[in-house]
Amino acid sequence: MAKSVAESNKEIKMVKEQVSALLKQYAAKNRVALSAYGAAFGRQVFAVREENTDLKALVSFREANSNNVPFVNRPIKHFVIKRIDIMKAELALTANDKPVIIINGGTDNEITCNIGKPEFDRKVDSNSIREAMENQKNGGNQIYFKDLDHLTAEINRLNADNDKDIVNLIEYLQNQHKVLQQDAIQNNADLNQYHSETDNTDSLETVVNVTVNQEEG
């Protein structure tokens, strides 16, 4: 027999009361940790992502390959800092009643953290950034940073390294471009030389030797 609306509402109310009671217990036991998240309200945290500089790189590669046109054999990457405003933070329970901190709940920038020291306070170094990249690729937990000064310097260094590779590639292509241009210059010079040797018929002189035999009579 189906439950009445009143019965359903009563059950919902009971569940909410149970959740509220549990949250109060967890809050009482973790006030210091929770206050650390409260101090972050209104600030930003930062994540890093590795992306293609050309968002249509794979399409461009396929088109070049199908048309037998030279192209780079792998996409050019750059590292991007994603900025996330902390607009709200709340204590919540997971489906198995585990307490967590939900930052920006219900938004595209929602972050779930375990209760404890804020997890967006990772030290910025090559190891933590490499870990963040690997997690991004493998679907692991996103790593967040708050030290924008060091993060910016590290990301700029990584992008500068990639830029050096691009500069070297440009130099290589420019050298090939010069070879093709020089080929055209040399071919035209050879063509002009050939015409100068064969087409100037007006300057040709025809020498006719006439031999007269006189008979003595």
pTM of the model: 0.70
> What does the pLDDT read at residue 201?
60
One-letter amino acid of 32:
V
198: Cα separation from own chain's centroid: 60
Average pLDDT score over residue span 75-92: 90
Three-state SS across the chain? CCCCHHHHHHHHHHHHHHHHHHHHHHHHHCHHHHHHHHHCCCCEEEEEEEEECCCCHHHHHHHHHHCCCCCCCCCCEEEEEEEEECCCEEEEECCCCCEEEEECCCCCCCEEEECCCCCCCCCCCHHHHHHHHHHHHHCCCCCCECCHHHHHHHHHHHHHHHHHHHHHHHHHHHHHHHHHHHHHHHHHHHHHHHHHHHCCHHHCCCCCCCCCCCCCC
Residue 43: which residues within 8 A CB-CB, separation 6 or more? 85, 86, 146
Q: From CA 115, how far away is CA 91, in angstroms rounded?
A: 9
pLDDT digit string, tens, across residues 137-186: 888 888 899 899 999 999 999 999 999 999 999 999 999 999 999 999 99
> What does the pLDDT read at residue 14?
65
pLDDT digit string, tens, across residues 7-28: 666 666 665 666 676 667 767 7
Q: Are strands 44-52 and 99-103 parallel, antiparallel or unpaired?
A: unpaired
Contact 55, 68 (CB under 8 A): no
In this predicted structure, the answer to whether residue 83 has a pLDDT above a threshold of 60 is: yes
Average pLDDT score over residue span 87-104: 84
Domain residue ranges of the chain, discontinuous segments joined by +: 29-187
Mean pLDDT of the chain: 83
Confidence at 211, pLDDT banded by 50, 70, 90:
low
One-letter amino acid of 19:
V
